Structure 1
Amino acid sequence: MQTTFRSATDLVRDMRAGSLTAEALMEATLDRIDAVNGQVNAIVSMAGRQDLIDQARAADRAGLTGPLAGLPIAIKDLANAAGFETSQGSPVFAGQIAAKDDIMTARIRQAGAIVIGKTNVPEFGLGSHTFNPVHGATRNPYDPARSCGGSSGGAAVALATGMLAIADGSDMMGSLRNPAAWNNVYGFRPSWGRVPSEAIGDNFLHQLSTLGPMARSPGDVALLLDAISGPDPRQPHGMAVSPTAPLDAAALKGRRIGWLGDWGGALDYEPGILDLCRRALDQMADAGAIVEDLAPPFALDRIWDSWITLRSWSVAGGLAPLAGRRADLKDSAIWELDRGLALSAMEVHRASVIRSDWFTRAAALFDSYDAVILPSAQVWPFPVDEPFKARINDREMDTYHRWMEVVVPASLLGLPALSVPVGFGAEGLPMGMQIIGRRGADADILALGAAWHEMTDWPGRRPALG
């Protein structure tokens, strides 16, 4: 197998054993990037080749002992990595070099990984389609005329094309799950509070977005998850965690799986998506899982109303300092900013009450099921030159992000959700489904994903690039 398509777990093992050097891995990684990145534009703001080789050589001399020792990684361009540009895909921040690492980046470096650059994002991370006026669009490696999803689109493409073995991402509204599904890899939204973000501004109220890992296997997802997990003393909602790696696959026999499908008709899907997920559920049932169709556990329109209120409130809080630079903001950022600034305290309170009611109902659901499953996306990757999906079948979308409503039930509650690949549609494009668990059940969900991976290994079907 080509070196850069090998698992992160195996690469670290071989580097520790001395049968592979960090320098050799870095050379292979940079060669792979040279071969394919120009076709997909996934990794941006790269460090110089000789500097990276020198860093890898120094790591070899120092001894490779950390859990990520010697692994090249590119950091999502919403997070800071010292010495690299953090553009957030916006002209407002283009060219600004980070003076220090964010918490997550620092933990990744402390675990021994070598930062080589950044992965591309939508402007400000808004919208599940990776394009921006600073670095351009990232293309789907299975069809470069299509979107790769987002906002962790660059990360997902780098994994699918063998440019990276592990990648970090973030997820407010499916940003780890949608691009994982569209690029035939795994993306894990951890329980909210497991992975700390920066202790900047408000650290109490907003509980929507989280950082998380991506990889070509759940075992490698667990490897990176452990490196970035654990409480930070500056933040009030940190979660005590236990290691998830090395990850053992769960036995599917007897596991109770609930299928939410189209949520009683409330969710529209393009043709073929539900059928593909159904076939995956049949495979789980053949392996001994007990798969049951579920009636809608909560009114989806109430979940959506709560979501768009709390999301706009949160996004506007982050964008408020840029309110005087509207000409520099894309339409979706202005939409979120205006909605958020117009909200009253009682509107936010009512949205939070709905979230609380949904959390209570979901907790009861997980008393009966080990996991619930939904597709990871409602549409197939669309043309790369479209800003967002404007309609699903005959239904026109009323916001720039309504076409991703399927990810909101888990996001609103901060539940662990693993997007697993489930195969390809009629046009050869990938799709995935979400395995969702009770808050705190991260290890259990990853173990279910590992069982699925052993049965299928969909990421082994690679894009024809390079």
Structure 2
Amino acid sequence: MTDIQFQSATALAGAVRRGERSPVDLVDAYLDRIADRNEELNAYVTVLEDEARERAREAEQAIEEGADLGPLHGVPIAIKDLHQPKAGVPNTKGLKPLADNVATETALVVERLEAAGAIVLGTTNTPELGHTMRTDNELLGPTPTPFDPEGERNAGGSSGGSAAALADGLCALATGSDMGGSLRNPAACCHVVSVKPTYGLVPHDDRPDAFSSHTPFGVLGPMARTVDDVALMLSVMVGKDDVDPFSVPAPDVDYQAATDRPADEYSLAFTPDLDTFPVAESVRAVCRDAVDAVADAGVSVADITFGGPDKGDLTYAYGTTAAPQFARGARILKREHGIDVTGAAADDLSPSFVSTVTMGQGYDTDEYLDTNTIRTELYDAVEAVLADHDALVMPALATPPLTHDEPYPTEIEGESAGGLPMDWGLTWPFNMTGHPVMSVPAGLTDDGLPIGLQLVGSRYAEDDLLAIAAAFEEANPWADDYPGARGN
């Protein structure tokens, strides 16, 4: 029997509602595992042991009193220590100089999850301001993927703490955010499921700049071990709120019911590389096998040639739009907290963060706006594929998980790469288009390292992506792959 910490959140929520599971017992079980594993895993920044136990007792009392129960009643979750603060809890944003910063307000998405009955266990590790694709910082250090017994390979970033906590049974659900793959990269490194929703679907109440997520499209989203769990969590997170000038009403669709749709309803377009990225043969092979498995289950699959911009243009466009966002974040840090990222505080920050801020300070307005032409070309190319197929399917990363210290690839399978994060992650192009994207486990390499697939869909078609993801899960189940699960 699966240990309680590795059971699905959907099953746990149902058991709580039926009186078969106690919220107190659930929280105790997860806190016990956190106490046993977090020193090694480095997934949590702050653990809310006393508060979580108090919330669990309140949840149990609500059941005893016959109160109306939310869809996540009693389910223990983790929240990323970045854009999802909780009032009264440290919100470091991965910054050593903000080690003692305590949030004064609770983010809207956290409010929604708690209103649905979820119990927050704590906050999870992230690189400074989520600026890169590996989770490491000067405050807490690196977070490894649980799939590396030596603890040397990174959990990916920037939602690596959340992904690692899920994969090691330290929470049932977790939040993340994504401006270049920060939900999908760690999901791939840790063998979990995530959704980068259509821009505007999950409201973002970031302040002082409510417009900061627009270029490139940055979003908040759910992470879980199963497709059903992601569907359940997404259904709680979506919906318009006027605090976000870009938010839209929730679609009239049942995300959980979508996971039961027949596989043969769907057509997939597969590319191993967008015809522009070098990709390791081990990644290609695992992704090919996963795609062939869903084809055998009845999903229509076509290998395609992708006609979008080349890698050089894409890299230029993304860097020119993303780096200024971190320069803007640095200005806010200096104004609100007195932290001079490129000055006195630099010694307490990762060199990669300082260099990203410095790079972002160097672009002018014309360069920034001219990238819209490349973004439009990319958007049109994705739309051309989706005119004939329900999803574009491709790897999430060019190689298996990297170690904490190795450089980003300069060569893959004999092809030259630039040594940038964008040479490793294949996720960031879709932050320039705003399409929804899911990451699902594709399988494990011969060395037991996880490989992830991303499913790119039409805007507001998350229900179709969930149905397709469920087909992948059924064709190639991954629930028993987690190293910490019983029997592994």
In the alignment, which of 245, 248, 254 is matched to residue 256 of structure 2?
245
Report the counterpart of residue 58 of structure 1 in structure 2.
58
Give the SS at the match of 2:14. Answer: helix
In 2, Cα distance between equivalents of 1:274 and 1:387: 21
Report the counterpart of residue 287 of structure 1 in structure 2.
297
In 1, Cα distance between equivalents of 2:407 and 2:219: 24
Q: Give the aligned residue type for 2:302.
A: E
Report the counterpart of residue 308 of structure 1 in structure 2.
319
Q: Give the aligned residue type for 1:150.
A: G
Give the SS at the match of 2:361. Answer: helix
1:238-290: per-residue Cα shift (whole Å, max 9, x none)? 122234134433322252211121222x2112231001111111112111222
Report the counterpart of residue 278 of structure 1 in structure 2.
288
Cα pair 1:173 1:404 within 8 Å, conserved? no
Give the SS at the match of 2:423. Answer: helix
Residue 295 of structure 1: how far off its partner (Å) = 1.2
In 2, Cα distance between equivalents of 1:387 and 1:443: 37
Report the counterpart of residue 200 of structure 2 in structure 1.
193
Instruction: Tell which deviates more after alignment, 66-75 or 332-341.
Output: 332-341
Matched, 1:74 2:74: no
In 2, Cα distance between equivalents of 1:465 and 1:71: 19
Are the structure 2 counterparts of residues 387 and 230 from structure 1 closer, same or farther at C-alpha, using a change threshold of 3 Å?
farther
Q: Give the aligned residue type for 2:89.
A: F
Residue 450 of structure 1: how far off its partner (Å) = 1.2
Give the SS at the match of 1:342. Answer: coil
In 2, Cα distance between equivalents of 1:462 and 1:405: 23
Cα pair 2:179 2:216 within 8 Å, conserved? no
Cα pair 2:195 2:223 within 8 Å, conserved? yes
Alignment of 1:424-435 (within 5 A): 424-435=444-455
1:114-152: per-residue Cα shift (whole Å, max 9, x none)? 112111112221211111111121111111221111111
Residue 363 of structure 1: how far off its partner (Å) = 1.9
Give the SS at the match of 2:424. Answer: helix
Instruction: Tell which deviates more after alignment, 300-309 or 387-396.
Output: 387-396
Q: Give the aligned residue type for 2:259.
A: D
Give the SS at the match of 2:341. Answer: helix
Report the counterpart of residue 220 of structure 1 in structure 2.
229
Cα pair 1:129 1:388 within 8 Å, conserved? no
TM (normalized to structure 1)?
0.94
Residue 207 of structure 1: how far off its partner (Å) = 4.3
TM (normalized to structure 2)?
0.90
Matched, 1:319 2:330: yes
Alignment of 1:156-235 (within 5 A): 156-204=163-211, 205-235=214-244
Cα pair 2:293 2:476 within 8 Å, conserved? no
Residue 388 of structure 1: how far off its partner (Å) = 4.5
Cα pair 2:13 2:75 within 8 Å, conserved? yes
Instruction: Tell which deviates more after alignment, 324-333 or 30-39.
Output: 324-333
Q: Give the aligned residue type for 2:74.
A: G
1:136-188: per-residue Cα shift (whole Å, max 9, x none)? 21111111221111111111111111111111111111111111111111111
Residue 346 of structure 1: how far off its partner (Å) = 1.7
Alignment of 1:65-464 (within 5 A): 65-78=69-82, 79-143=84-148, 144-204=151-211, 205-242=214-251, 243-253=254-264, 255-264=266-275, 266-301=276-311, 302-322=313-333, 324-326=340-342, 327=346, 328-386=348-406, 388-389=408-409, 391-394=411-414, 397-398=417-418, 400-464=420-484
In 2, Cα distance between equivalents of 1:349 and 1:69: 46
Give the SS at the match of 2:153. Answer: strand
Report the counterpart of residue 36 of structure 1 in structure 2.
37
Residue 447 of structure 1: how far off its partner (Å) = 1.2
In 2, Cα distance between equivalents of 1:13 and 1:217: 15
Cα pair 1:223 1:246 within 8 Å, conserved? no
Instruction: Tell which deviates more after alignment, 201-210 or 125-134.
Output: 201-210
Residue 297 of structure 1: how far off its partner (Å) = 1.9
Instruction: Tell which deviates more after alignment, 346-355 or 335-344.
Output: 335-344
Cα pair 2:183 2:221 within 8 Å, conserved? yes
1:184-212: per-residue Cα shift (whole Å, max 9, x none)? 11111111111111242443443421110
Instruction: Tell which deviates more after alignment, 390-399 or 100-109.
Output: 390-399
Instruction: Tell which deviates more after alignment, 445-454 or 325-334.
Output: 325-334
Residue 390 of structure 1: how far off its partner (Å) = 5.3
Cα pair 1:149 1:178 within 8 Å, conserved? yes
Residue 425 of structure 1: how far off its partner (Å) = 0.6
Q: Give the aligned residue type for 2:285.
A: D
Give the SS at the match of 1:164. Answer: coil
Structure 2: 5+ residue runs without aligned partners? Answer: 335-339
Cα pair 2:216 2:431 within 8 Å, conserved? no
Give the SS at the match of 2:483. Answer: coil
Q: CA RMSD in A?
A: 2.0
Q: Give the aligned residue type for 2:260.
A: A
Give the SS at the match of 1:282. Answer: helix
Cα pair 1:192 1:207 within 8 Å, conserved? no
Give the SS at the match of 2:473. Answer: helix
Structure 1: 5+ residue runs without aligned partners? Answer: none
Give the SS at the match of 1:98. Answer: coil
Cα pair 1:377 1:404 within 8 Å, conserved? yes
In 1, Cα distance between equivalents of 2:146 and 2:425: 25
1:372-413: per-residue Cα shift (whole Å, max 9, x none)? 111011111122233655553555643531223411222211
Cα pair 1:249 1:449 within 8 Å, conserved? no
